[in-house]
Amino acid sequence: MLSSIGIPGLILILTIALVIFGPKKLPEIGKAAGETLKEFKNSARDLTDEEKDKPSDQKNI
């Protein structure tokens, strides 16, 4: 995923974010994004675990 953006594109995005949000807000935004991603991963993992634990509802015909 990151390889499709490339290093110059990543530098450009970070520079624009730094100009828009400023150096004081950027770490807070990064922390919030990281926590959101972590929560999303945990929720997705919980959903997949529930599907694996769920008994199959197959009826004998």
Give the pLDDT of residue 52: 76
pLDDT at 49 over 80: yes
The torsion region of residue 6 among left (phi > 0), alpha (psi -120 to 50) and beta comes to left
Give the pLDDT of residue 45: 92
pLDDT at 53 over 80: no
Evaluate if pTM is beyond 0.75.
no
Residue 35 tokens, joined: 């926590």
Whether the Cβ atoms of residue 21 and residue 29 lie closer than 8 Å to each other: yes
Q: Each residue of 5-42: pLDDT tens digit?
A: 788 998 999 899 999 989 899 899 889 999 999 999 99
Which has the closest alpha carbon to 17: 33, 4, 36? 33
Please give the C-alpha separations between residue 53 and each of 4, 41, 43, 61, in angstroms, as whole numbers. 37, 18, 15, 24
